Amino acid sequence: MADEKDQAKRSVTERMMDQVGKINTPENQGAVKFIIHQAQEVMLKPKTFFPPMVEHGSPEDARFFLLGVIVIASLLSGITNLNLFFTLTHLFTYAISTYLTAFFTWWLFMQFGSPKPFGKNFVVVAYSQAVLLIAGIQLGPLGVITFLAATAYSVYLQLIGMQLLHKLERNTIILVLAIIAVVQVILKFVFQIY
């Protein structure tokens, strides 16, 4: 009975901090640092990052990386807009957008004769989503600029990875990625989903 009274006296903030303490473990801190390190490698050294990922990268590792990047970017988006709804909206739209992008790129490359499996396409697309860490910063008109810059850089990262993965002509790869990028930008402005 005394425990219940003490618990009721504690502020909401104190109870929330207890919950955060349960999440903030050394293992989780290490996972976040690893994801941020990988994102840094993808964005700053894509030509050295993608060759081993295309050759030996697994969809499971890419999913782990993607999940971390999406959570961090969604939290950034919610914090910069001071809106929890943005966090939840971006969490789902980033995930759905990445899987749809991976699927349609794979499908378009198959139409051009590439036999590479969906999983390998997903690896390239998932790691190219490291730019979501930049797109998550959405302050007023700066949000549109960061979205367009992140989209352009994501396409560049995908170009590097897809050239290594698909042994197709560069122009074919550029065409496929341009189609996907244009569709993403149109969806962004029509549905306001990023």
**pLDDT the model gives residue 20:** 58
Number of domains in the chain: 1
Asked if the structure places residue 4 within a domain, the reply is: no
Asked if the structure places residue 5 within a domain, the reply is: no
One-letter amino acid for residue 60 of the chain: E
Asked if the structure places residue 7 within a domain, the reply is: no
Asked if the structure places residue 179 within a domain, the reply is: yes
Instruction: Quickly list H helices, 45-83.
Output: 46-56, 59-81
One-letter amino acid for residue 125 of the chain: V
Contact call for residues 83 and 108 (beta carbons, < 8 A) = no
Asked if the structure places residue 79 within a domain, the reply is: yes
Asked if the structure places residue 6 within a domain, the reply is: no
Token pair 């504690």 is at which residue?
A: 10
Asked if the structure places residue 10 within a domain, the reply is: no
For 183, the domain range is: 27-191
Asked if the structure places residue 157 within a domain, the reply is: yes
What six digits make up the tokens of 47? 């030509």
- pLDDT one digit per residue (tens) for the chain, 194 residues: 556 666 556 666 676 566 656 666 777 788 888 999 999 999 999 999 999 998 898 999 999 999 999 988 888 888 877 777 878 887 888 888 899 999 999 999 999 999 999 999 999 999 999 998 887 776 667 777 877 888 889 999 999 999 999 988 999 999 999 999 888 878 777 766 44
Residue 124: CB atoms within 10 A of its CB come to: 27
CA–CA gap between residue 87 and residue 93 (Å, rounded): 10
**pLDDT the model gives residue 109:** 94
Token pair 């919610």 is at which residue?
A: 78
